[in-house]
Structure 1
Amino acid sequence: MRAGAFLRALRLLIPEADLNIVHERPWHSLTFGGTQICISVTMTNAETTCGLPLSAMLAEHEFCLPRQIVADIAIAQAVVADGAYCRIIDALLLDD
């Protein structure tokens, strides 16, 4: 799994969340290669334990990953179901 370090970093960033990989696939452009990953995030609150909305936290966070750069990260979908806040995070990890 190429996204293992990224998933561990997310677990440290939002320990209250239940994280699951929806899909992970190789990504290539003419000059770059990497991994496209989609992760489901389920939380009981709309905000993270530090009081920030997840979208704001992700936008501001500098991920330190071995041999990878987080080139793009965004919340692609958000729903509230049975009192849980469910989000889908799409990320593009480039090989460094």
Structure 2
Amino acid sequence: MSAEGKVSRPPRLRRTVTDRLRVAVLQLADHQAQVISHSETPWASITFAGTRHLLALVFAGDTAVEAGERFIAALPEHEFMIPGQLVADATVVEAEHRLFPSPRLSATCELLLLEEG
């Protein structure tokens, strides 16, 4: 409690564009993926500025692999809703299936985000 007798709340964490993108990608993957790595690099052209993101995902198990296959099919046309950003390009640059010792799908995707403004 604060000195005024009010319950104090912990400070609200601000989610970054990177955080929001990761959440959106995991939602598209039906929360069946694990993000193994996520890197971002600044990107700019004469008229636009933004960031290029490279995410490596793993889908482990039958249900997750099925979700991964849907994710790969849906990603290029998916309309992301990330405030202040436009996803200009989203592609799967690598995918690998394994059946042994258990079903597993690894996918690497690249997304180009442009700042709206």
Q: TM-score range by the shorter chain?
A: 0.7 to 0.9
Number of matched residues? 94
Report the Cα distance in structure 1 between the residues aligned to 2:77 and 2:46, rounded to whole angstroms: 28
Q: Which one has more relative contact order, counting CA pairs under 8 Å at least 6 apart?
A: 1
Consecutive unaligned residues of structure 1, counting only runs of 5 or more, are: none
Q: TM-score if structure 2 supplies the norm length?
A: 0.70
Report the Cα distance in structure 2 between the residues aligned to 1:54 and 1:17, rounded to whole angstroms: 10
Report the Cα distance in structure 1 between the residues aligned to 2:53 and 2:25, rounded to whole angstroms: 13
- Flag the structure with higher strand content: 1
* Counterpart position of 1:12: 27
- Flag the structure with higher helix content: 2
Report the Cα distance in structure 1 between the residues aligned to 2:41 and 2:93, rounded to whole angstroms: 17
* Counterpart position of 2:11: none
Q: Over alpha carbons, which structure has the higher Rg?
A: 2
% identical equivalent positions:
29
Q: TM-score if structure 1 supplies the norm length?
A: 0.84
- Runs of at least 4 residues off by over 3 Å: none
Consecutive unaligned residues of structure 2, counting only runs of 5 or more, are: 1-15
| Cα RMSD for the two superposed structures | 1.9
Contact 2:57 2:106 in 1 (8 A): yes
* Counterpart position of 1:63: 80
